Amino acid sequence: MALRLGRREFGADEPVIMAIVNRTPDSFYDKGATFADADAFAAVDRAVSQGAAIIDIGGVKAGPGDEVSAEEEIRRTVDFVARVRELHPDVVISVDTWRHEVGEAVCEAGADLLNDAWGGVDPKLAEVAARHGVGLVCTHAGGARPRTRPHRVGYDDVVADILRVTLGLAERAVELGVRRDAVLIDPGHDFSKNTRHSLEATRRLEEMTATGWPVLVSLSNKDFVGETLDRPVAERLIGTLATTAVSAWLGAQVYRVHEVAETRQVLDMVASIRGTRPPAVARRGLA
C-alpha cells in the first residue's frame, strides 16, 4: 500500500526520511540549536536539500523539564508551520505533539501529519487528524504519561504489546475517518522501554512490518543506542546508523532523524543491496 501524506505519495518500498527540527530551547540532542527562527528555517532548508521528504516540528522536548503549556507549544510551532508551508509547498510537514489543541492549530496552519509519540494519551488527537484529513503516527509508549522516563518497566512480551497497542490505535484512527494510507505505526524506541526492550523491538521489527502498516522508527541518537555502546549523545551516530540499516532491511519505511545526509546514504545502500534501487553509477568491470 502506498503511503500518502500531504502532496506526496510514497511507494511501499520507498524509504522516507523525516528530519527533526526542534522549536525548543532544551532538546536533548541539539540543546536548542533550532529554537531561533533563523536557525530553524536554515535547518529545514538544509534537510530538504539533503533528501528529507518530511519535516517533523516539535515544540516540547520529550523528556522531563520545564512545564510547557499548550499555549506556549502553539506559539512555538504554528507560525513556523505556516511559514514552512509557504517556503516548501511540497514537503510533508509533521508536528510532534500529544495535545489535540495543538493538533488543531497546526493543522489549520498547514500541517500534513500529527506525530503522536505518546501513544494516544489524548484520544482527541486522532479525531483532529480525521477532521482535517491529515495523517497520524500511532506510537507505543507503554501507557506512560508525557515527558516521563521509564522506571522498572516490564513486559511479558514487549513486541506483542507493541503490536497490540499500535494496531489498536491505527484501527481506531481509521474508524474515526483518518485515511488508511495516511496512518503509520511506531514501536516507540526508548518510550516506556529499557535498552533491552528497544533492542528486541528492533530485532523483531519484521513482525511490525508484516502487518502491512507503514512503520516509522525514531532511532536517532537515543539512549538505547548510547547504553548499548556506552557512548554519550554526541557519539551515537554510528550506532544510530547501524540500527537504521537493520531497520531498513527488516522493512521500516520512515526514519525520524537528526542527520539527514548520513541516513540517506545508509538507506540508499540498503535499498541497492535489496535490489529496489540501482547503483548511482555502474562503471566497474564494464570498460
CA distance 218 to 203: 15
- Output Rg (C-alpha) for the chain, integer angstroms: 18
Q: Cell 526520511 appears where?
A: 17
Q: What is the pLDDT of residue 1?
A: 77
DSSP string for 179-191: -GGGEEEE--TTT
Coil/strand/helix, residue 16: strand
pLDDT along the chain (287 residues), means of 10: 95 96 90 93 98 98 94 98 98 98 98 98 98 98 95 96 98 98 98 98 98 98 98 97 98 98 98 96 91
Question: Which pLDDT score, from 0 to 100, does residue 129 have?
Answer: 98
The H-assigned helical ranges of the chain are: 37-50, 70-87, 100-109, 124-132, 158-176, 195-203, 206-209, 223-229, 237-249, 260-274
Q: At what angle do helices 70-87 and 100-109 cross, to 10 degrees?
A: 20
Residue 16 bridge partners (DSSP):
254
- What SS3 class is residue 160? helix
Q: What is the pTM of this model?
A: 0.97
Nearest partner of 95 among 107, 83, 108, judged by Cα: 107
65's grid cell: 523539564
- What is the full DSSP assignment across 67-103? ---HHHHHHHHHHHHHHHHHH-TTSEEEEE---HHHH
88: phi > 0 → left, psi -120 to 50 → alpha, else beta; which? beta
| Structural domains present in the chain | 3-274 (3.20.20.20)
